[in-house]
Structure 1
Amino acid sequence: MKKEKNIKLIVLDVDGVLTDGSLYIGSNEEEYKKFNTQDGMGISLAHYAGLKTAIISGRNSKAVTKRAKELKINYVYQGIADKVQVLHELLDNLDLHPKEVCYMGDDLNDLPILNLVGLSFAPANAVALVKENVDYVTERSGGHGAVREMIEFILKEQYNFKELINDFINGKRRVVQ
């Protein structure tokens, strides 16, 4: 079986993946991040198809907490130094194998987890070493639809995509972008 056909959990880094990697810090010391609504719709599609989602980020951010809650991301871990350890704990709790996980990361701290999972992606703006060590590099950059591109790739491999989209649209489900 192709590894693209066995994904049950999508795990994402945040900065440089769900965002363009920029950090905006206001004079009130509040951190702001810009998210892409197409990525949000992609995450809603993944949930509709029955896939679980998780965030494992090295930073702590109220903006990420808020966005993850809006998108109903199943598992959110922030301020994580050892992403592999957190992934192993998550997999144990979900009774999943690393081969059933897709991860998207963009920088050096993502390499250990990218090398562990069954399917790995990097956005177009990832550092060269990461792009050299993943299964796929998206055409889009982080914060500009890379997550959506990755999710559509997985859904097209695992499902009848046109039928899935038709069911999604006709289901009249309220979704958050």
Structure 2
Amino acid sequence: MKKVAIIPLRKGSKGIPGKNKKKMLGRPLFSWVLGAAIFSDLDEVYVFTDDEEILNFISKEYHWTSKVKGLLRNDENANDTASTESAMLEFAEKINHDFDVLCLLQATSPLTTSQDINSALSEISTEGKTAALSVVKTHRFTWNVDGTPQNYDVFNRPRRQDFAGLLMENGAVYATTKDAFLKSKNRVSETIGLVEMPEETLMEIDSLSDWTIIESLLAERQKAFKKQERINYLVLDVDGVFTDGCVYYGAEGELMKKFDMRDGMGLEILRQNNVEVVVITSENSDLVAKRMQKLQIKHTFLGVKDKYSFLQDFINQQQTSWANLAYVGDDVNDLANLCTVGWSFAPANATTIVKQQVDFTLSNNSADGAIREVCEWIMNYNKRF
């Protein structure tokens, strides 16, 4: 049974311009649901969009997985009046209906998890339903416009614990068999299974205030994953962590970056104590590559934009967990990882938003002993294990 997902994205957005590409907790909004899809039971995930910039990002960023593909969406199915179903039908034709189950995922639902997607797929593969959708149980009392209650007796108001509540669509996950979809031309039809998600996933991103609330919810969710175990990997950003954040350019391009020799010695001692060093940076720099080679850091990854998904893949390959990682970052593109690892650190000169989210703000600046300080902290911490 081939399980394929579509994440439809439009270039235009009236409420929040450029919404799909705007960074939420340091990652483009669409990458949150894309990351969940990558690590789910789906076989293929298509980002279906009219935005060439996003398609270029997909082709460059997700080379480490064969599951993710970008596909150009026709303009007529990407305007304000086009329905999601019209985009799904266009998509199905473009891939020659090469699927048994089609899953619709919405980028505006960044709280969606791999398990939510798997639960929807299971409703079809295991429970025998022809479709499934995600819902939220809410204990709200609803009313008609004529002033009459819809779901309770005003003279016998139930207590929350005695009220079964209502199930409402949250618009996050839909799944359907190919036969049901082609017959009905609708995202769900016939026998429909329900997948319950947390109540906070009901919130939609229509304004900047919505954005701020959901970003805070994401940060708290990631922090809830934190566990304290032995640190086996120290993950480091480069600019603003290894270096002072400055880059010196000449007529021929990048000339120089400043590194601290004491950091290198600290990392060598750390490796001698069975802690692997991992370097992940969004930049492609020959200078960085040469410095990491000099430091004998074999786990060096350059040009990584979606650091969270990339690190999740690394964790899976190494058969370790987020709890076994410490991470040092200085800017917003590190936020998702900083909120998730066992222990997170920021140099003293990191951005304010990062220092607000990490477990420790170091006393030393980047390229001035910050990494060495972390190395000594880890060695002392690991003694208990």
Query: TM-score range, shorter-chain basis?
Result: 0.7 to 0.9
**Whole-Å Cα distance in 1 between the matches of residues 377 and 250 of structure 2?**
36
Does the alignment pair 1:116 with 2:340? yes
Aligned counterpart, 1:170? none
Does the alignment pair 1:149 with 2:373? yes
8 Å contact kept, 2:236–2:280: yes
> How far is the alpha carbon of 1:27 from its aligned partner?
2.1
**Whole-Å Cα distance in 1 between the matches of residues 268 and 244 of structure 2?**
20
8 Å contact kept, 2:330–2:350: yes
> How far is the alpha carbon of 1:28 from its aligned partner?
2.0
Aligned counterpart, 1:167? none
Aligned counterpart, 1:36? 260
**Whole-Å Cα distance in 2 between the matches of residues 138 and 30 of structure 1?**
28
Please list every run of 5 or more consecutive structure 1 residues that lacks an aligned counterpart in the other structure: 161-177
> How far is the alpha carbon of 1:58 from its aligned partner?
0.8
Does the alignment pair 1:26 with 2:228? no
**Whole-Å Cα distance in 1 between the matches of residues 233 and 324 of structure 2?**
7
**Whole-Å Cα distance in 2 between the matches of residues 62 and 92 of structure 1?**
28
Higher share in helix: 1
TM-score (norm 1): 0.86
**Quick one: which of 316, 324, 336 aligns to 1:100?**
324
Higher share in strand: 2
**Whole-Å Cα distance in 1 between the matches of residues 298 and 256 of structure 2?**
22
Return the structure number with greater relative CO, CA threshold 8 A, min gap 6. Answer: 1
Return the index of the structure with the highest Cα Rg. 2
8 Å contact kept, 1:125–1:142: yes
Aligned counterpart, 2:287? 63
Does the alignment pair 1:54 with 2:278? yes
Aligned counterpart, 2:302? 78
Amino acid at match of 1:56: I
Amino acid at match of 2:252: N
> How far is the alpha carbon of 1:116 from its aligned partner?
1.3
Secondary structure of the 1:30 match is strand
Secondary structure of the 1:54 match is strand
Please list every run of 5 or more consecutive structure 2 residues that lacks an aligned counterpart in the other structure: 1-226
8 Å contact kept, 1:123–1:142: yes
Larger deviation, residues 21-30 vs 104-113: 21-30
8 Å contact kept, 1:13–1:105: yes
Amino acid at match of 1:77: F
Q: CA RMSD in A?
A: 1.4
> How far is the alpha carbon of 1:74 from its aligned partner?
2.7
**Quick one: which of 149, 158, 161 aligns to 2:382?**
158
**Whole-Å Cα distance in 2 between the matches of residues 30 and 120 of structure 1?**
30
Secondary structure of the 1:87 match is helix
Aligned counterpart, 2:313? 89
**Whole-Å Cα distance in 2 between the matches of residues 91 and 74 of structure 1?**
15
**Whole-Å Cα distance in 2 between the matches of residues 7 and 47 of structure 1?**
12
Amino acid at match of 2:337: I
**Whole-Å Cα distance in 2 between the matches of residues 26 and 6 of structure 1?**
44
> How far is the alpha carbon of 1:7 from its aligned partner?
0.3
TM-score (norm 2): 0.40
> How far is the alpha carbon of 1:159 from its aligned partner?
2.9
Aligned counterpart, 1:45? 269
Map 1:2-21 to 2 at 5 A.
3=228, 6-21=230-245
**Whole-Å Cα distance in 2 between the matches of residues 118 and 31 of structure 1?**
36
**Quick one: which of 345, 353, 377 aligns to 1:129?**
353
| Equivalenced residues, count | 158
> How far is the alpha carbon of 1:107 from its aligned partner?
0.5
8 Å contact kept, 2:282–2:304: yes
Aligned-pair identity (%):
39
Post-superposition Cα deviations, 1:28-76, rounded to whole Å, max 9, x if no partner, equal 2134211100000011011110111111101111111111111111311
8 Å contact kept, 1:52–1:74: no
